[in-house]
Amino acid sequence: MKHLAAALLIVVILAVIGCSPESAENADGAGFSAPTEMTRRINDRVRETLPLDDQGNFEQARRGLIASAPHLQVKDADGAVIWDMPSFNFIEGPAPASVNPSLWRQAKLNNIHGLFEVTPGIYQLRGFDLANMTLIEGHTGWIVVDPLTTRETASAALAFAGQHLERRPVAAVIFTHSHIDHFGGALGVLAADETDRRHVPIIAPRGFMDEATSENIIAGVAMGRRAAYQFGRNLPASARGYVDTGLGKRVPFGNFGILAPNTIVDRTPQAMTVDGVRFVFQYAPESEAPAELTFYLPDFNAFCGAEIVSHNMHNIYTLRGAKVRDAYKWSHYIDEAIDLFGSADIYFASHHWPIWGNQEILNFLEKQRDLYQYIHDQTMRLANAGYTPREIAEQVTLPESLDMFFANRGYYGTLSHNTKAVYQAYLGWYDGNPAHLNPLPPEESAKRYVACMGGAEAVLTKARNAYDEGDYRWVAEVLNHLVFAEPNHQEAKLLLARTYDQLGYQAESGVWRSAYLTAAHELRHGTPDKGLDMDKAYELLKRTPPSKFFDSMAVRLDGPAAAGKAMVLNIDFTDIGEGYVLTLKNAVLRHKASPPDPAADVTLNITHDLFVRMLTGRAGLKETLFSDQLDVSGSRTDLLAFLMLLDRPEGDFNIVTP
């Protein structure tokens, strides 16, 4: 059973990251080097280009503040700090040379936190998590929109609201979409048994439960490892380290849960009265999330844009790795919202700050709409002219009317990787050049590149010269070859780390900054030594369909080792009345919800509860083996042989080294 637990262990949320100090001059406490003169000049040009002193967004972000929490920290049950707003107190005054001034501005806006009145009857808690929690005053209680990422942060936010507003029960919960920062804290605002006992509406878009529990299942380990780069999991908050995601401050890592929806939004427009408040929903699947909704509140003349609009360019493709989003549909959902709800005088959303005034809202919605369509249309115009993704990314620039609008700036997504995403959605990974059809793997090609360039010392000399000239993108490309050819070449690794420092300091995108600086950190300190504590996902995994776990098992089967082997296993979950038959044949593992196969080689009778406790580490090997909730019949030798065919990835694989 120990091997079964390891084999079925999935990374459902994000992974965590894992030190010899660098001897570079002017390195800070975490080893990051000082910004170079070239980086200073590039960031100064940003300062000269954008109206960074414009206070309009700051006035909006502060409007309606009821109370702030200057010492806001949230801890888990073990006393570990999982949310720490004071760690960002360094973000004040002019931008230091080590941070893009435009990103610094966005980080200052995202630092504004507390409880806000959007309008009488609508309140927001911002800065308690990556996302916002919105409270709408119903006839009997609060309608909670998007209860944050974790039970701890959601509970802290609702408790803070209770200190300054009337204490009321939760009358309904709305999940705007299927990303965990909008549902993972559900059990922090509503106990699991309250939904049925008090008949509390749990409202979500069609497909929410499947998408919410499945996005990271198949590619969970890889996605989790890469997410550590996207969100700077191991970076210290500092002027040379982590600053902001662009979308919000950071991702908390507490206890994640979910509540199953009992009220589904599956069409547009869909009118509904929730605790006496009138809603008109827009169903917007395959946009920013596979399952998403927005809504309009006629009694408040207010539009909640969920996350199809926000005060930054969003990701059409996320750096952590996920299915590419449909920029065309995304743009058209915003256009549909303008047609349906364009009379709104108030806009609020799942991230960032609200907007007041009809004309300002329409201007915002139109420019967000046109941003995604422009990226879509211009990418495909150039693709149809024969340009490749890298060429397109270098050519596409936004028109001034879109580019100078702060809500369209690339604080989260970027024009560069979003154009590549549109290309990928239509044409895939292959750019049409046969040289790219079957290239050598990175380590092999790297050795040949280095040899062709005259060997390691010649490459290093060329890289040093390019670094001194501020040609950092080229330095990164050249030194990446050298590091992959000679991974123990410490001088090359440290120069590449300093190069990534500079690229990170120049990045307007919070996630690009995190990716570069995490790469620099790992070149200096090595890869992570542990993954996500699965016990924190216990409440989420309890509500994940068992079939998802078997999907995960199938992609962990070692195909070459399984060749020529055949086996049938029954797994019967005795407490939920579900049974599955797993079949190994042709080096493929398949599963089917089915009564037990009488000819099976092995039958496991186990409660779903024990199964999940085993996966999360709540039940140890001894407890599992001797539990009356487990019975194994058939060939235990066959069971062991089967388990040995399953990979047990640790999620700590190398990225910037071979």
Domain boundary among 476, 499, 529: 529
Q: Among 358, 305, 331, 361, which Cα is nearest to 146's?
A: 305
- Which amino acid would we find at residue 566? A
What dihedral do alpha carbons 175, 177, 180, 186 form, nearest 10°? 0
Shared domain check, 152 and 24: no
Torsion of CA 70, 76, 77, 79, to 10 degrees: -60
Kindly report the CATH number assigned to the domain that includes residue 57: 3.60.15.30
Q: In what order do the strands lie in the sheet with 170-174?
A: 65-67, 114-119, 122-126, 133-137, 142-145, 170-174, 202-205, 263-265
The answer to whether residue 619 is domain-embedded is: yes
Mean local confidence (pLDDT), 176-180: 96
Say yes or no: 58 and 187 in one domain: yes
595, 458: one domain: no
Q: State the CATH number of the domain containing residue 523.
A: 1.25.40.880
**End-to-end alpha carbon distance in the chain:** 33
Taking alpha carbons only, the member of 150, 322, 149, 218 closest to residue 10 is 218
CA pair distance 595, 580, nearest whole angstrom: 7
The pair phi, psi for residue 549, each rounded to 5°, is: -65, -40
Evaluate whether residue 414 is within a structural domain. yes
Chain centre to alpha carbon of residue 448:
36
Residues 57, 32 share a domain: no
Contacts of residue 348, defined as CB under 8 A and 6 or more positions apart, other chains included, come to 118, 122, 124, 132, 134, 302, 303, 304, 305, 354, 355
> Looking at the structure, do residues 157 and 237 belong to the same domain, yes or no?
yes
Query: Tokens standing for 13?
Result: 């949320």
485 shares its domain with 524: yes
In whole angstroms, what is the distance from residue 17 CA to residue 518 CA?
9
What's the confidence (pLDDT) of residue 541? 82
Is there a single domain that holds both residue 487 and residue 567?
A: no
Domain presence at residue 180: yes
Residue 24, pLDDT score: 41
Q: Return the pLDDT at 639.
A: 85
Beta bridge partners of residue 585, listed in sequence order: 588
Per-residue pLDDT band at 21 (split at 50, 70, 90) = very low
Residue, of 214 and 105, whose pLDDT is higher: 105
The string of pLDDT tens digits covering residues 334-388 is: 999 999 999 999 999 999 999 999 999 999 999 999 999 999 999 999 999 999 9
Q: What is the CATH number of the domain that holds 616?
A: 3.30.1050.10
Residue 509 and residue 575 share a domain: no
What is the average pLDDT across 203-208? 97
- Mean of the pLDDT values across residues 423-448? 97
Query: In the structure, what pLDDT confidence band is assigned to residue 650 with cuts at 50, 70 and 90?
Result: confident
Is 391 a member of any domain? Answer: yes
pLDDT tens track for 39-61:
999 999 999 999 999 999 999 99
Q: Are residues 332 and 468 in the same domain?
A: no
Q: Give tens-digit pLDDT for 286-300.
A: 999 999 999 999 999
Confidence of residue 462 (pLDDT cuts 50, 70, 90): very high
Same-domain check for residues 133 and 271: yes
Residue 22, pLDDT score: 38
Total number of domains in the chain: 3
Of 529, 557, 579, which residue constitutes the final position of a domain?
A: 529
304 is a domain residue? yes
Where does a domain end: 484, 505, 529?
Answer: 529
Residue 308 and residue 405 in one domain: yes
Q: Is residue 650 in a domain? A: no
The Cα 244–Cα 351 span in angstroms is 13
Asked if the structure places residue 474 within a domain, the reply is yes
Average pLDDT of 266-272? 98
Q: For residue 355, list its beta bridge partners.
A: 347
Residue with tokens 């395959």: 286
> Which are the contacts of 474, defined by CB distance < 8 A and separation ≥ 6?
466
In this predicted structure, which of 132-141, 144-153, 206-215, 519-528 has the lowest mean pLDDT? 206-215
One-letter-per-residue 3-state SS of 40-94: HHHHHHHHHHCCCCCCHHHHHHHCCEEECCCCCEEECCCCCEEEEHHHHCCCCCC
Same domain, 115 and 258: yes
Average pLDDT for residues 133-147, to the nearest whole number? 98
Q: Which residue segment(s) compose the domain that 620 sits in?
A: 2-11+541-643
Place of tokens 């700590």: 652
Confidence of residue 37 (pLDDT cuts 50, 70, 90): very high
pLDDT for residue 530 is more than 70: no
DSSP class per residue in 162-187: HHHS----EEEEE--BSSGGGTTTGG
pLDDT of residue 531: 59
d(CA 228, CA 220): 12
- How far is the C-alpha of 471 from the C-alpha of 465, rounded, in Å? 9
pLDDT at 13 over 70: no
Confidence of residue 101 (pLDDT cuts 50, 70, 90): very high
How does residue 115 score in pLDDT terms, banded at 50, 70 and 90? very high
Is residue 90 situated within a structural domain? yes
Instruction: Give the pLDDT mean for 636-649.
Output: 87
pLDDT at 218: 84
Tell me: the pLDDT tens digits for 382-406?
999 999 999 999 999 999 999 999 9
Which token pair is 653? 């694989």
pLDDT exceeds cutoff 50 at 5: no
